[in-house]
Structure 1
Amino acid sequence: MPADPTLAAQSRSSLHEQDVTAPVLAVSKASKSYGDRPILRDVTFTMRAGERVALLGPSGSGKTTLLNCIGGVDRPDSGEVLVAGCRLHALDTNGLAEVRRKHLGMVFQFFHLLPTLTAAENVELPLQLLDISTREREDRVELLLDRVGLTQRAKALPSELSGGEMQRVAIARAIVHKPALLLADEPTGNLDSQTGVAILNLLEEVVRETGAALLMVTHSEEAAARCQRILRMKDGTLTES
């Protein structure tokens, strides 16, 4: 699947409306506990536009909690998280929803496509939450389905798609609104090894073309090796390798 210069130019233009020298993501001394059990302990790191960062760690190490705090689904007890310059702890529910709509894209292990919508309708869904014209929505969806090699599957329901096809739809949906930050939670964990490699290739190409930052949670050392940096979590603390 060749790079798409139109997608790249449009996405870079959107991202560069902000200060390109500022981190896309900044986590500072974030701590979180559930009852007496500490989950995150003073987690601090930053990411800049175009970076691919892998987050590894055993189950229960705090990876999912950290991802939830970055995505605005949960809040740290102390410290702060900034996404595209927005201080998440200072926002109410509506403000957090707006940050997710405008600045975040999510790719999940189990795809999370709506089963009653076609591939094209699933990709279009984030745009329906924004003030974007019907014509532009259709153009963006067409562009991205072509980019991920699914133009001929635009009208297919998720039940008619393979696992790799569903993940490609999910990636198109995650970037259709031109987010500054992509969060990928085990994006290859439900795929066979060959399809998983194809998805990693696509994510790498998308980040290179759009300038978005990618934070990928994974158990796979092979997937992590495709990233520029590796962060490791253990017992709620973070180290970099």
Structure 2
Amino acid sequence: MSVHVAGQAVTLQMPVLEVQSLTKNYAERTILRGVSFNLDQGQRVALLGPSGSGKTTVLNCVGGVDHADSGSVMIAGHCVENLSADELAHLRRRHIGMVFQFYHLLPTLSAGENIELPLQLLGVAMAEREARVRELLERVGISHRAGALPGQLSGGEMQRVAIARAVVHRPQLILADEPTGSLDTATGAQVLDLLAEIVRETQAALLLVTHSPEAVKHCERVLRMQDGQIVEGA
């Protein structure tokens, strides 16, 4: 988008993620109460709050896993709630990378095949897929484990595979839900360093749900939630 200021064309960068007035109820319980915030390209944002404050529900609504009762989610200029199921799946495959606490790797695929899968779903040519997978295996330090199945990997190795899988298709937005929650302190610190470095390199926006003070240190901005609302940082 361009505007003219003093006769000069100035490009205004659209936020990668725009969340406006999200509400969500489950049965008689209100989970989200008008949640609003934006993320810009390359921005690393931590979403904090006690259990039950609505953090994971926000992440699920942003990722299209769940649907808000009202409000809107815009990702890379696409209004999520207006998309069909097929359009939403395409948006997620192209623009979103996800990292979970328990990895969610496919157990019958090797480390390399798990990383390659998003590119296969997008129809990327084999030579390009192989080059990107090889590059990322090296980048996350597990080239020697490319042929190993998830059951043969340590927790730290599995999370490295998960990070590589989340960024292999070069998404604009990475959603991470407690990515170090099942790791020991030392391994978790290594994984956080790696995730932050890759986000800086790719200039993706990162929304990180966490309870970890160490994870917060890798973010530029903190949003604090309580009782379904953002009470700080929006």
Length-normalised TM-score, structure 2: 0.93
Equivalent position of 2:157 in the other structure: 165
Distance 1:104 1:20 in 2: 22
CA deviations over 1:6-59 (Å, ceiling 9, x no partner): xxxxxxxxxxxxx87110000011111112211101100000011100001111
- 1:4-153 → structure 2 map (5 Å cutoff): 21-153=13-145
Alignment check: 8 A CA contact 1:101 1:126 kept: yes
Structure 2 alignment gaps of length 5 or more: 1-10
Output the CA distance in 1 between the equivalents of 2:124 and 2:224: 39
Equivalent pair of 1:20/1:49 in contact (CA under 8 Å): no
Where 1:55 maps in the other structure, the secondary structure is strand
Q: Partner of 1:28: helix, strand, or coil?
A: strand
Determine which structure has more spread, i.e. the larger CA radius of gyration. 2
Matched, 1:182 2:174: yes
Aligned-pair CA distance for 1:78:
0.9
Measured on the aligned residues, the alpha-carbon RMSD in Å equals 1.1
Q: Distance in 1 between matches of 2:167 and 2:14?
A: 21
SS in 2 for 1:75: coil
- What does the per-residue CA deviation read over 1:199-227, in whole Å, with 9 as the maximum and x for residues that have no partner? 11011101110000010000112211221
Structure 1: give runs of 5+ residues left out of the alignment.
1-18
CA distance in 2, matches of 1:75, 1:66: 10
The answer as to whether partners of 1:33 and 1:77 remain within 8 angstroms in 2 is yes
Quick one: percent identity of the two aligned structures?
Answer: 62
Match for residue 208 of structure 2 among 205, 208, 216: 216
- Of 206, 217, 235 in structure 1, the residue corresponding to residue 227 of structure 2 is 235
Normalising by the residue count of structure 1, what TM-score does the alignment of the two structures yield?
A: 0.90
Q: Partners in 2 of 1:222 and 1:175 — Cα distance?
A: 22
**In structure 2, distance between residues paired with 1:193 and 1:108:** 17
Tell me, in whole angstroms, the C-alpha distance in 2 between the residues paired with 1:58 and 1:93: 32
Distance 1:49 1:131, change over 3 A: same
